C-alpha cells in the first residue's frame, strides 16, 4: 500500500513538474536569431578564408552543421570561447596553431603599383581603391588584414604592415613595461 | 641611467597578508593560554603537531603544484589553519587525529581547490567535520576542567597522553576523563544534550559540577579570552565587525526565544554564548576571509545564518557543538549571498543595477 | 526638511564610500615660496596636451616666435592651441617621448629660447562689456585646458548650454605630496577669485562651492578672505581622505549628488573646475596671458630642495629635478603626478605639460615597490576602500579570467582607477593594473566588433554588387546570343556551328575535370608568364623601333613606361628570388648578367628539393625562369641610352624598398629589445 502511495505521489509530482516546465518553455520562450546568424555575428568577418571556407558566413553555416569551432585564426581565442559557449561545446585550442601575433593592414607601395586591379578583385571587403592602369591604394580603416590581396599582386607591391601603436590604442603591460636605457 | 617603470599606485600601506595572519594567531594566544590552564597542556602539544604538519603539507603541495614555496609558506595562512584546528579538538586526542586533520585541511580543502583564496570551505572546519564523523569517540574525549580533574597532568604527561593515550604515570584517557566524583565528564554542551535526552530537566542537569558559573567551568573564561582577542582584531580592522556581531546577535536572539518559550528544555542565551566554541568561532573561524562573504550586507546575512544554524543544530541536531557544520553550510551559501548582496555602484540605480 | 540648496548653504557636508589615508607628506613643499626656474636650453611643446585633437601648426621650422604666440591654431572646438612659453626660434618639429604612461613618441615643437622673453602684443579684455562668446573664444585661443588631471578643454565646459546649479572649484588636492594648488592659493587668491567670477559670468550658477582639504589652513584663510565680498561663494573644508578630489567624489561630498553612470556632471547641473584652471582663465581673459607656465610640485626624498616651482610648459623634467638638487639612486623611480595615480617616466627629457602638477622622485625606502603579488584572500579591504563602491576582488577575478561580460556586469567601467584598492590590498595585488588591461581589452573588442560589422556590411555589399554584375552580364550575353542566333538564322547558317561549339565545350569540360588543382595553377602560371614575356617583348620591340622611327614623344613615353613596367616585374621577382641581396643590388642589378647565372646555380638544388613536389617550390622555379627571361629582356632594352629616363624612377623604387627594409629591420630590433 505504502509503495503504491509513494509511486502515485512521485508520479503526480513528475506530471506537475513536467507541466510546469512545458508551460514555462512556451511562456518564456526566447526569440532568437537563427543559429547561423548568431555564429556569423561572433566570427570576426575578416573574410580571409583561412578556415577553409570562402568567407565567414559559409564557415558559420558549416559550424551550424557540426564543423569544428577552432578554425578561425583571426578571431583567435576569444572567438573560440564565444563559439564554444553558443554551441555548448568544449573550447579547443586554435587548430591552425599560428595565431596572428599582431594586427596588420595591407599597404600598397604606390610607386610600384602597375594598376592591374588584381588586388581589388581579391579584396573581400572592397578596401582597395584604384582603377585600371592607375595607382591603387588601401583604405587602412576598412582593411581587415586578411592577406588575400598580397598573393595576386604580380609585382608584389603589397605589404602587410602592423598597425602602429598610438597612445589611444596602447595597452598597459601587466608585468613590466620595458625599461629602456637612456643616454 | 635607467629609471624604474611601474604602474600606479606607487604607494602601498604596510599591512601584508602575512602580517594579518600573524596578528590573527597572536590574538588567539590568550584563549590558548586559558585553554591550557583549564584543560591541560595537551592543547600545546596539539598545536605543535598541527603547525608542523601544516607547514610540511603546504610545502609539499606547493612543490607538487609547481608554485614558489617560500612566499606562500610565509603568508602564514597554513599557520592559522593549523592553530584553529588544534584548539578545536580535544587536548588529549591521539596525535594522529590532528595530523590527519591538518593534512586533510591543507591538502584537500585548501591546495586542491587552488590554494589560498580559492578554497570554498574553511579548511580547519572541514577537517574538524571530517574528524568528527570519522572518529567520533576520540573527538569527544574532552577532559574535565582543571578544578574538577581527579588527576592533574604535567606537561610531560600531556605529551605522553597525546602520543600513547596514557599519561606517564599510566592513567588511560578514559580514567583521566573521570571527574573527582568518579563520573565521566564530557563538555557542558555534551552533558546537557545527554541529560535532556535522558529526560532530566535543565535545573537538574545544572546541578552537576560541570556547570559552575554561567556556562560551565573553564569554558566561560576561555570564551572570554577569545572574545578579547576577537575584539582586538576588530579594533585593528583586521576582521570586519559584521560577521561576529551577526553571529552573536542571531544566536542570542534565537536562544532567548527558545529559553523564553521553554526555560526548562532550553539553556539560557548566555549559556549558548559562553560555552563550547562560540566566541572562537564567531571571531576567528567565521571571519576567515577566504570562505566568508565579502560584501557588507552579505557578511551580516552570513553571520546570522551561522548563528541560526548553530542554534538549530545545538537544539535539534545530533551533535553537541555545531559551529563546524554551521560554518561549512554557510560557506556553501556564500556565492549566492555575495551575488545577491552586491553593493550599489556609485552612479547606478538602487535595484536591478545591471540593466 | 530643508532643501538641498538650503542644506548646502548651511554648510552641510556629506561623505563618500571608502577612501584611504595614505601619509600626505605635503609640508616639505607647501610651506616654501614658489621658486622660479631658469630658462631651460630647449622647450619641448607637445602639440596636443588636452583631451581632443591637435591643432594645425601655424609656424615652420626656423621661424622666430614671440612669447605667448600661438604655435597651433584651432579649426574646431575640440582643439586647444599651444603657445610659445618664451621668445625664441623653432628649431624642429619632431617626435619626442610623450608625457603619457606609454612614453610613445608624439609630435612636439622644439623651441630654443633666445633669452629676450619678448611678449607678443596683448589685448586685455574688459569682461563687463563683452559677451560670453568673446570670453569663450579668448579662453580657447589662450589654450586653457583643465589643469587638474585630464586636460578637458575649458571652453567646452564653461560654454555649456545646460543650466548649471553649482559651480564647484576643486582645490582639494587629495593626492599625497602635491601642493601646487595649495601654493597657488596662498600666492594668488584674488586672481583665482577673479577667474571664478569669469566662470560665473559664463555659467551663471546658483552657488559656487570651493572644496579644500582641511590640512591647508593658510590657503583656506586666503581664499575665504578673497571671497568675502561674494555672497554665493562658499569655501568648504573637506576632511583629508583620498580620493576626495576625484570629480565624482567631490560632487558627492559637497552636494550629496551622484553623477549617473555614463553621464557627465553637467547632466545634473554641476560643473567642476580646478583652481589652477580658474587662475589660468583669469590670466587669459584679463591679461591676454595664454597658458604657458604652471606651478609644479617637485618633491621626493632624493631632492635636496623639494619645492614648488613656476615651470614653463615644455620644460624637460630633468631641468626641474636638477634645479631642486636631484640625487638619483640606483633604479630610481621618477613619477609624473602623485604617488597614487601618477605614472613613471622612462627618461627625463619628457616635458612638463598643462596637466603636470607634480614630479616625484622618491627614494626606494620612501615609496617602496610592491612586494610579490600573492593570492587574493578575499579580505574585502579593497571593497571597503573603493570610492565607487565596486567589488575589486570580483573584478580582479573576472579580469584574470578575461570574462568581459561579467566585468561589465560588475561595472568595471565605473572604476576611476584611483588606486585605493591596490593601496590597501594586503596581498599586494596590482589591482588597478589588471583593470587597465581589462578595460583596454574591452575597448579593443568593442572596436573590433564595430569593425567586424562594417567589414560584414562591406562584404555583403560587394557580394551583392558582384551578383548584380553577373546578372547584368548574363542578361547581356543572352541578348547577344539571341541576336546572333537571329542573325545566323537569317543568314541561313545551320546548327552545325552550334553543334561544334557544344562538342568543344564538352571536351573542354572533360579536360578540365581531369586536370588537378596543381595543373590548373601551373597552367595559369604559364599563361601569366606568357603574358609577361609578351609584354616585355612588346616593350623591347617598341624600344628597338625607337631609333629608326624617330622621336615621337608619345611613343617614347609609352615605351619608357612599358620598360619601367617590365623592369618593375623583373625587379620584384628578382627580389623574391634573391632575398640575400640588398635592396640596392636587387634593383640596380636587375639588368646584371650575374643574375641568370645565380639562378642557375640555385636551380639544381631546387630541382633536387622539387622531388618533394611542393607546389610552392614549383611556382618559385617558374618565377625564377620568368626572371631569367624578363631580366635579359629588360637589360637588352635598357642598354640603349634609356637608362637616364628610367633612373629617377628606379632610384625612387630602390629608396622605397630600402626604406621598407630599414623599417622592418628597426621593427625587428625593437622587437628584440
Ligand atoms: S586590402 Fe588586402 S588585406 Fe586588406 S582586406 Fe582587402 S584583401 Fe584583405
Ligand atoms: S595587384 Fe598590385 S599592381 Fe595590381 S593593382 Fe593591386 S597593388 Fe597594383
Ligand atoms: S584587498 Fe587584495 S586580498 Fe583583499 S580582497 Fe581585495 S584583492 Fe583580495
Ligand atoms: S581603482 Fe577602481 S576599483 Fe580600485 S578603488 Fe579605485 S575605483 Fe575602486
- pLDDT, residue B215, reads 47
Asked if residue A136 has its Cβ within 6 Å of ligand 2, the reply is: yes
User: Ligand 4 centroid to C381 CA: how many Å?
Assistant: 12
Q: Tens of pLDDT along B13-29?
A: 878 888 889 999 999 99
Helices C275-287 and C189-203 cross at an angle (nearest 10°) of 80
Cα separation, C231 vs C220, whole angstroms: 17
Q: Tens of pLDDT along C252-267?
A: 999 988 999 888 888 8
B115 contacts C375 by C-beta, under 8 angstroms: yes
With CB atoms and an 8 Å threshold, state whether C345 touches B343. no
Chain B: residue whose CA lies nearest to A183 = B1
Helices C275-287 and C132-141 cross at an angle (nearest 10°) of 110
Percent of chain C's residues with pLDDT above 70? 75
Pocket residues for ligand 1 (CB within 6 Å)?
A 106, 122-123, 125, 127-128, 138, 143-149
How close C30 gets to chain B, by Cα (Å)? 20
Residue C607 confidence (pLDDT) above 50: no
| First vs last C-alpha separation in chain B | 51
- pLDDT, residue C633, reads 45
- pLDDT, residue C195, reads 93
Residue C573 confidence (pLDDT) above 60: no
Cα separation, B233 vs B24, whole angstroms: 7
In DSSP notation, C317-374 reads HHHHHHHTTB---TT---EES-TTT-EE-SSTTPBP-TT--EEE---TTTSPPP----
Residue at grid coordinates 584674488: C190
C431, C432, C435, best to mutate for ligand 3 pocket (most atoms within 8 Å of CB)? C431
- pLDDT, residue C569, reads 59
Average pLDDT over residues A51-76: 82
C174 contacts C266 by C-beta, under 8 angstroms: no
- Which of C209, C70, C196, C206 has its CA nearest to residue C142? C70
A177 at interface of B, judged by CB pairs closer than 8 A: yes
* Residue with CA nearest ligand 2 atom 6: A119
C123 contacts C93 by C-beta, under 8 angstroms: no
**Residues of chain B in Cβ contact (below 8 Å) with chain C:** 1-13, 15-17, 19-20, 71-72, 75, 77, 115-118, 240, 289-290, 292, 294-296, 338, 342-348, 353-354
Residue C486 confidence (pLDDT) above 90: no
Same fold, A35-87 and A102-167: no
C286 contacts C279 by C-beta, under 8 angstroms: no
> C575-581: long-range contacts (C-beta < 8 A, 24 or more apart)?
C575/A156, C575/C657, C576/A156, C576/C620, C576/C623, C577/C602, C577/C620, C577/C623, C577/C624, C577/C627
- pLDDT, residue C597, reads 41
User: What is the residue extent of each domain of chain A?
Assistant: 35-87, 102-167
CATH topology of domain A35-87: 3-methyladenine DNA Glycosylase II; Chain A, domain 3 (1.10.15)
A115, A126, A154, best to mutate for ligand 2 pocket (most atoms within 8 Å of CB)? A115
Least trusted range by pLDDT, from A163-177, B328-342, C58-72: A163-177
* Residue with CA nearest ligand 4 atom 1: C417
* Rounded alpha-carbon distances, angstroms, from residue A182 to B1, C75, C314, C333, C394: 6, 37, 19, 14, 39
| Cβ neighbours of C101 in A, within 8 Å | 172, 177
Is A157 annotated among the ligand-binding residues? no
Residue C75 confidence (pLDDT) above 90: no
Chain B: residue whose CA lies nearest to C429 = B12
Average pLDDT over residues A131-159: 85
Which residues face C212 on adjacent strands?
C171, C237
Q: At A112, is the pLDDT very low, low, confident or very high (cuts 50, 70, 90)?
A: confident
- pLDDT, residue A24, reads 84
| Cβ neighbours of A162 in C, within 8 Å | 667
Question: How are strands ordered across the β-sheet holding C64-65?
Answer: C43-46, C105-113, C88-97, C64-65
Of all ligands present, the nearest one to the C-alpha of A134 is 2
Residue A36 confidence (pLDDT) above 60: yes
H or E segment and range at residue C635: helix C615-638
| Cis ω before C38 (30° cut-off from 0) | no
Q: At C629, is the pLDDT very low, low, confident or very high (cuts 50, 70, 90)?
A: very low
Instruction: Tell me the HSE value of C447 on the side-chain side, using a 13 A CA sphere.
Output: 12
Is C415 annotated among the ligand-binding residues? yes
Residue C73 confidence (pLDDT) above 50: yes
Q: What is the assigned CATH class of domain A102-167?
A: alpha beta
Residue at grid coordinates 547577344: C480
Return the C-alpha cell found at C574: 628578382
A114 contacts A155 by C-beta, under 8 angstroms: yes
Return the C-alpha cell found at A50: 583561412
Cα separation, A94 vs A79, whole angstroms: 10
C596 contacts C631 by C-beta, under 8 angstroms: yes
Sign of CA dihedral B258, B260, B266, B270: positive
Residue A77 confidence (pLDDT) above 90: no
Task: Give B310: exposed, middle or buried? Use CB within 10 Å, 0-12, 13-18, 19+.
Answer: buried
Residue C401 confidence (pLDDT) above 70: yes
In DSSP notation, C229-281 reads T-TTEEEEEEPP-BTTTSHHHHHHHHH---PPTT--GGGGTEEEEEHHHHHHH
In DSSP notation, A91-159 reads ----SS----SS-EEEEE-GGG-----HHHHH-TT--EE--TTS--EE-TTT-----TTTTT-TT--EE
Residues of chain B with pLDDT under 70: 1, 143-153, 168-217, 320-321, 350-355
Task: Give C82: exposed, middle or buried? Use CB within 10 Å, 0-12, 13-18, 19+.
Answer: buried
Q: Tens of pLDDT along C346-393?
A: 889 999 999 999 999 999 888 888 878 888 888 888 999 999 999 999
Cα separation, C564 vs A115, whole angstroms: 13
Q: Tens of pLDDT along C307-336?
A: 999 999 999 999 999 999 998 888 888 999
* Residue with CA nearest ligand 4 atom 4: C421
- pLDDT, residue C624, reads 53
Q: Tens of pLDDT along C1-49?
A: 678 888 888 888 899 998 999 998 898 888 889 999 999 999 999 998 8
| Cβ neighbours of B5 in A, within 8 Å | 176-179
- pLDDT, residue C665, reads 61
| Cβ neighbours of A142 in C, within 8 Å | 454-455, 458
Cα separation, C376 vs C566, whole angstroms: 66
Average pLDDT over residues C412-430: 91
User: Ligand 2 centroid to A149 CA: how many Å?
Assistant: 8
Is C386 annotated among the ligand-binding residues? yes
Cα separation, C230 vs C250, whole angstroms: 22
* Residue with CA nearest ligand 4 atom 2: C415
- pLDDT, residue B265, reads 72
Higher-confidence residue: C634 or C81? C81
Amino acid at each position: 500500500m505504502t509503495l503504491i502511495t509513494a509511486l502515485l505521489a512521485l508520479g503526480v509530482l513528475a506530471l506537475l513538474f513536467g507541466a510546469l516546465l512545458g508551460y514555462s518553455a512556451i511562456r518564456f520562450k526566447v526569440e532568437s536569431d537563427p543559429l547561423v546568424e548568431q555564429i556569423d555575428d561572433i566570427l570576426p568577418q575578416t573574410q580571409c578564408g583561412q578556415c577553409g571556407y570562402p568567407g565567414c558566413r559559409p564557415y558559420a553555416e558549416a559550424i551550424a552543421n557540426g564543423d569544428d569551432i577552432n578554425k578561425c585564426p583571426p578571431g583567435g581565442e576569444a572567438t573560440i570561447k564565444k563559439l564554444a559557449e553558443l554551441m555548448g561545446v568544449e573550447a579547443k585550442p586554435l587548430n591552425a596553431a599560428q595565431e596572428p601575433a599582431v594586427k596588420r593592414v595591407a599597404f600598397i607601395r604606390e610607386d610600384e603599383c602597375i594598376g592591374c586591379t588584381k588586388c581589388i578583385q581579391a579584396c573581400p571587403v572592397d578596401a582597395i581603391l584604384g582603377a585600371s592602369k592607375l595607382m591603387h591604394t588601401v583604405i587602412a580603416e576598412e582593411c581587415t588584414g586578411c592577406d588575400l590581396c598580397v598573393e595576386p599582386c604580380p609585382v608584389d607591391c603589397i605589404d602587410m604592415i602592423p598597425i602602429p601603436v598610438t597612445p589611444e590604442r596602447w595597452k598597459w603591460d601587466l608585468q613590466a613595461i620595458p625599461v629602456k636605457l637612456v643616454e | 641611467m635607467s629609471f624604474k617603470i611601474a604602474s600606479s599606485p606607487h604607494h602601498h600601506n604596510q599591512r601584508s597578508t602575512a602580517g594579518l595572519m600573524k596578528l590573527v594567531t597572536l590574538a588567539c594566544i590568550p584563549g590558548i593560554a586559558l585553554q591550557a590552564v583549564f584543560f591541560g597542556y595537551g592543547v600545546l602539544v596539539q598545536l605543535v603537531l598541527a603547525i608542523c604538519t601544516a607547514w610540511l603539507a603546504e610545502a609539499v603541495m606547493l612543490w607538487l603544484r609547481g608554485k614558489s614555496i617560500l612566499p606562500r609558506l610565509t603568508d602564514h595562512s597554513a599557520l592559522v589553519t593549523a592553530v584553529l584546528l588544534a584548539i578545536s579538538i580535544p587536548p588529549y586526542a591521539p596525535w594522529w587525529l590532528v595530523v590527519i586533520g591538518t593534512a586533510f585541511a591543507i591538502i584537500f580543502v585548501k591546495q586542491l581547490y587552488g590554494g589560498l583564496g580559492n578554497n570554498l570551505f574553511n579548511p580547519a572546519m572541514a577537517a574538524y567535520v571530517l574528524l568528527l564523523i570519522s572518529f567520533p569517540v576520540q573527538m569527544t574525549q574532552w577532559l574535565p576542567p582543571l578544578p574538577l580533574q581527579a588527576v592533574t597532568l604535567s606537561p610531560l604527561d600531556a605529551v605522553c597522553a597525546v602520543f600513547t593515550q596514557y599519561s606517564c604515570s599510566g592513567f588511560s584517557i578514559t580514567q583521566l576523563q573521570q571527574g573527582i566524583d568518579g563520573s565521566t565528564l564530557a563538555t557542558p554542551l555534551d552533558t546537557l544534550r545527554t541529560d535532556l535526552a535522558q529526560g532530566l530537566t535543565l535545573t537538574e542537569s545544572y546541578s552537576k559540577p560541570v556547570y559552575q558559573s554561567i556556562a560551565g567551568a573553564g569554558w566561560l573564561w576561555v570564551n572570554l579570552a577569545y572574545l578579547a582577542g576577537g575584539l582586538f582584531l576588530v579594533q585593528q580592522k583586521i576582521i570586519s565587525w559584521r560577521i561576529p556581531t551577526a553571529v552573536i546577535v542571531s544566536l542570542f536572539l534565537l536562544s532567548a526565544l527558545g529559553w523564553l518559550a521553554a526555560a526548562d528544555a532550553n539553556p539560557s542565551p548566555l549559556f549558548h554564548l559562553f560555552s563550547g566554541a562560540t566566541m572562537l568561532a564567531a571571531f576567528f573561524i567565521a571571519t576567515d576571509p577566504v570562505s566568508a562573504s565579502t560584501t557588507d550586507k552579505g557578511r551580516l546575512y552570513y553571520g546570522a545564518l551561522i548563528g541560526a544554524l548553530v542554534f538549530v543544530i545545538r537544539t535539534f541536531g545530533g551533535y553537541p557543538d555545531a559551529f563546524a557544520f554551521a560554518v561549512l553550510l554557510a560557506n556553501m551559501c556564500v556565492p549566492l549571498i555575495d551575488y545577491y548582496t552586491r553593493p550599489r555602484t556609485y552612479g547606478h540605480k538602487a535595484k536591478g543595477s545591471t540593466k | 526638511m530643508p532643501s538641498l540648496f538650503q542644506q548646502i548653504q548651511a554648510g552641510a557636508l556629506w561623505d563618500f564610500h571608502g577612501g584611504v589615508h595614505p601619509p600626505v607628506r605635503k609640508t616639505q613643499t607647501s610651506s616654501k615660496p614658489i621658486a622660479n626656474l631658469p630658462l631651460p636650453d630647449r622647450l619641448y611643446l607637445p602639440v596636443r596636451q588636452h583631451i581632443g585633437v591637435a591643432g594645425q601648426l601655424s609656424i615652420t621650422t626656423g621661424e622666430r616666435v614671440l612669447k605667448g604666440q600661438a604655435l597651433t591654431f584651432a579649426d574646431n572646438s575640440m582643439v586647444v592651441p599651444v603657445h610659445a612659453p618664451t621668445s625664441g626660434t623653432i628649431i624642429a618639429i619632431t617626435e619626442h617621448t610623450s608625457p603619457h604612461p606609454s612614453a610613445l613618441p608624439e609630435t612636439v615643437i622644439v623651441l630654443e629660447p633666445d633669452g629676450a622673453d619678448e611678449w607678443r602684443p596683448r589685448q586685455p579684455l574688459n569682461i563687463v562689456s563683452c559677451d560670453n562668446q568673446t570670453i569663450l573664444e579668448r579662453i580657447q585661443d589662450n589654450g586653457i585646458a583643465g589643469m587638474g588631471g585630464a586636460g578637458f578643454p575649458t571652453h567646452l565646459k564653461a560654454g555649456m548650454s545646460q543650466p548649471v546649479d553649482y559651480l564647484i572649484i576643486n582645490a582639494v588636492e587629495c593626492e599625497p605630496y602635491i601642493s601646487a594648488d595649495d601654493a597657488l592659493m596662498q600666492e594668488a587668491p584674488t586672481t583665482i577669485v577673479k577667474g571664478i567670477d569669469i566662470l560665473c559670468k559664463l555659467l551663471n550658477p546658483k552657488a559656487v562651492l570651493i572644496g579644500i582639504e582641511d590640512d591647508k589652513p593658510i590657503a583656506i584663510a586666503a581664499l575665504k578672505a578673497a571671497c568675502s565680498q561674494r555672497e554665493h561663494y562658499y569655501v568648504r573644508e573637506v576632511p583629508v581622505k583620498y580620493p576626495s578630489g576625484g570629480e565624482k567624489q567631490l560632487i558627492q561630498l559637497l552636494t550629496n549628488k551622484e553623477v549617473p553612470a555614463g553621464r557627465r556632471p553637467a547632466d545634473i547641473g554641476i560643473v567642476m573646475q580646478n583652481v589652477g584652471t580658474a587662475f589660468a582663465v583669469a590670466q587669459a581673459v584679463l591679461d591676454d596671458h595664454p597658458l604657458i607656465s604652471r606651478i609644479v610640485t617637485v618633491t621626493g626624498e632624493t631632492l635636496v630642495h623639494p619645492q614648488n616651482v613656476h615651470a614653463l610648459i615644455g620644460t624637460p623634467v630633468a631641468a626641474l629635478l636638477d634645479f631642486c638638487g636631484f640625487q638619483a639612486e640606483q633604479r630610481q623611480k621618477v613619477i609624473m603626478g602623485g604617488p597614487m595615480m601618477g605614472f613613471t617616466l622612462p627618461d627625463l627629457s619628457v616635458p612638463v605639460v598643462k596637466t603636470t602638477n607634480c614630479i616625484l622622485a622618491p627614494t626606494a625606502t620612501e615609496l617602496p615597490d610592491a612586494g610579490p603579488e600573492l593570492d587574493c584572500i578575499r579580505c574585502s579591504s579593497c571593497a571597503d576602500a573603493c570610492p565607487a563602491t565596486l567589488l575589486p576582488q570580483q573584478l580582479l577575478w573576472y579580469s584574470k579570467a578575461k570574462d568581459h561580460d561579467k566585468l561589465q556586469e560588475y561595472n568595471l567601467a565605473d572604476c576611476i582607477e584611483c588606486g585605493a584598492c591596490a593601496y590597501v590590498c594586503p596581498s599586494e595585488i596590482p589591482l588597478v593594473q589588471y583593470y587597465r588591461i581589462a578595460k583596454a581589452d574591452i575597448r579593443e573588442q568593442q572596436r573590433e566588433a564595430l569593425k567586424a560589422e562594417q567589414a560584414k556590411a562591406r562584404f555583403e555589399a560587394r557580394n551583392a554588387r558582384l551578383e548584380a554584375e553577373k546578372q547584368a552580364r548574363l542578361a547581356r550575353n543572352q541578348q547577344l546570343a539571341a541576336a546572333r542566333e537571329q542573325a545566323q538564322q537569317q543568314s541561313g547558317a545551320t546548327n552545325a556551328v552550334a553543334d561544334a561549339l557544344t562538342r568543344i565545350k564538352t571536351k573542354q569540360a572533360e579536360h578540365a575535370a581531369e586536370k588537378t588543382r596543381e595543373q590548373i595553377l601551373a597552367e595559369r602560371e604559364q599563361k601569366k608568364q606568357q603574358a609577361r614575356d609578351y609584354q616585355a617583348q612588346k616593350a623591347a620591340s617598341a624600344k628597338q623601333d625607337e631609333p629608326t622611327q624617330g622621336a615621337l614623344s608619345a611613343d617614347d613615353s609609352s615605351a619608357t613606361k612599358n620598360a619601367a613596367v617590365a623592369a618593375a616585374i623583373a625587379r620584384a621577382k628578382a627580389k623574391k628570388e634573391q632575398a640575400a641581396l640588398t635592396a640596392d643590388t636587387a634593383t640596380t642589378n636587375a639588368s646584371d648578367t650575374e643574375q641568370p647565372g645565380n639562378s642557375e646555380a640555385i636551380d639544381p638544388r631546387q630541382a633536387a628539393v622539387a622531388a618533394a613536389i611542393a607546389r610552392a617550390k614549383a611556382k618559385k622555379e617558374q618565377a625564377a625562369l620568368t626572371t631569367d627571361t624578363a631580366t635579359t629582356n629588360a637589360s637588352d632594352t635598357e642598354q640603349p641610352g634609356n637608362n637616364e629616363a628610367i633612373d629617377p624612377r628606379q632610384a625612387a623604387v630602390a629608396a622605397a624598398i630600402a626604406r621598407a627594409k630599414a623599417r622592418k629591420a628597426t621593427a625587428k630590433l625593437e622587437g628584440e629589445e
